[in-house]
Amino acid sequence: MGTSLEYKEYGGHEENERNTRNTRETRNTRNALGCLQAPARNFQDLLVWQKAHELVLGVYRITAGFPKHETFGLCSQMQRAAVSVPANIAEGFKRRGRADKARFLNIAQASLEECRYFLILTRDLDYAKTDTILDLLDETSRFLDSYCHSLYSSSPSYSSPQNR
């Protein structure tokens, strides 16, 4: 009789563990836009990282045409801010705690806004046309916001900075 009670207790625990794991796996199969997708094995699998990387490549293309006197000024600043976005997404990907992940994603969001200002300045100084890359920045920002929202909403004890 003690054996069957132990079996039920352990069986119930195993069942709860299996249900929790299945829920987690189901939740992890949705990308930043809510579309079904296999869980990311590394940061390069994240659509948000792919968009951010595309943004970096665009920034490097634009800054290649800047005047020489901007090499160590606006050019360098814009490149550093752009590189910071996918770098922080990548670093946050491997962080274990939600608060730690959120911190790196918030840094990526801030760097994205810094890039936005540098692109506005680039346009206003007539160094380059920035409409296309600003569209890419907006798209990257939406993906990053969705990724952050999914992190915040997956934990009832963790609230979004917007809800504080």
> Which amino acid would we find at residue 109?
Q
Do residues 9 and 63 both lie within one domain? Answer: no
Instruction: Name the DSSP class of 164.
Output: -
Do residues 93 and 138 both lie within one domain? Answer: yes
Do residues 10 and 59 both lie within one domain? Answer: no
87 CA to centre of own chain: 10
- Domain span at residue 24? 1-30
CA angle 56, 59, 61 (to 5 degrees): 110
Give residue-wise pLDDT tens across range 11-20: 344 444 444 4
- 131 membership: H or E segment, kind and range: helix 131-153
Q: How many domains does the chain have?
A: 2
Residue 69 tokens, joined? 């006197």
Rg of the chain in Å (alpha carbons): 21
Give residue-wise pLDDT tens across range 40-81: 889 999 999 999 999 999 999 999 999 999 999 999 999 999
